[in-house]
Amino acid sequence: MSKLVPPHGGKGLVCCLLEGKALEDEKKKAEGLKKIEISSRAKGDLIMMGIGGFSPLNGFMTKENWKSVVEKMTLADGTFWPVPVTLDVSAADAKEMKVGQEIALVRNGELMATMKVEDIYEMDEAAKKWECELVFKGEGPDSEKFWEVALEDHPGVKMVMAQKEFNVGGTVKVLSQGEFPTKFPGVYLTPAQLRAKMDEREWANVAALQLRNPMHRSHEYLCKIGVEVCDGVVIHSLVGNLKPGDIPAEVRVKCIDKLVEKYFVPENVIQAGYPLDMRYAGPREALLHATFRQNYGINQQIVGRDHAGVGDFYGMFEAQQIFDKIPQPAEEGKRLLCKPMKIDWTFYCKKCDGMASMRTCPHSKEDRVILSGTKLRKMLSEGAEVPDHFGREEVLDILREYYSGLTNKVEIKMQRAASGSTM
């Protein structure tokens, strides 16, 4: 009997992925359907609906659900959900569709899913801006001049504003997991597969470390705090698309493998990957991470400084504070059951002679090595020397090799927190 937290939504794992004869029959039917080219983000969302990662969602959101999620962080039926999951289509395609019709969803020539259209709704500029202001606008200094900087500097806002003129909502039948099972064998795991691994180890209290950067010493420290107080930790990496300048998943996976091999008790950690694109929605994305991680069997999410943030759009601990403000539906199955493990700003302190946090270290900023994925990427991309205690040498060797092979380098902008200027 599993001791893990139940999936979100109270309906068990809702998996839209077809298999066997049902899959073959649906693929044949899809040949005769109107085909819609979807974005990379929508592809990742579809796969998550396929494997149960987005339970209880079984399709892209109708206008009623989209509006409720943006405004209240709940689906129309009251189930907690923090971020819109929508499918955009052009005005020309929308004009040729009608409610009740079935369509095929395609990404770069690959048939990903079929969908039964339940709603078609316009997304004019005002609607897109409304979504951006409620989902992406935080409390950092960049948000004081949000529309002056967001269209240039916030990848999530740019993504929404670039969407086509209409959204289409409806249930899906997912026909592919894309390249992820073959590209990341043993790392890309469905919720059912990860739950089975944790059940084998008889874990009940499990923490997740969210990663989109290679693990530096702060990540390692956060992970080890989780190992100390839980049955185990899942190092859960995003293996979908990131913004330019971020480090590809294949490189990050190699780094984690090396760290686990050299610096962890392997029985207490599991490395896993999930197929989403990053939205960079800061606090709201921290809630999304916790929501789908509950589906993976995880009941605690490590939340440190500027979780899922970008630039200076969010307060340093806004992603922790938002967990105290979310709706609490009366029905337990509709509530978010994955809780935050809130950890203060961490760093290496020369006087403490080890990793520490603002809660444990009494020394000055001058005694500290400020650790940040952005700062590490900037140093490596510019060929600068990485300070002692920033990262493990075995990991830095992998990253230096990656950067030495790059021909086109992207300028990395420093956040205030990454530089340590706000400490």
Catalytic residue list: 212-213
Q: Provide the β-strand partners of residue 166.
A: 89, 122
Q: What is the CA angle 240-148-241, rounded to 5? A: 5
Residues 138-153 as b/e (b if ≥16 CB within 10 A, e otherwise) read: bebebbeebeebbeee
Distance CA 102, CA 32 (A): 10
Please state the length of the chain: 423
Which residues, 6+ apart, have CB-to-CB distance to 240 below 8 Å? 40, 44, 249, 274, 275, 276, 277, 278
Distance CA 128, CA 137 (A): 13
**Cβ neighbours of 178 (radius 10 Å):** 20
HEC string of 13-56 equals CCCCECCHHHHHHHHHHHCCCEEEECCHHHHHHHHHHHHCCCCC
Distance CA 227, CA 208 (A): 10
Q: Is 222 exposed, middle or buried (0-12, 13-18, 19+ CB in 10 A)?
A: buried
Centroid of chain to Cα 41? 11
Distance CA 363, CA 357 (A): 10
Decide: helix, strand or coil at residue 129. helix
Q: In this structure, are residues 53 and 44 in contact, taking their beta carbons and an 8 Å threshold?
A: no
**Cβ neighbours of 27 (radius 10 Å):** 15
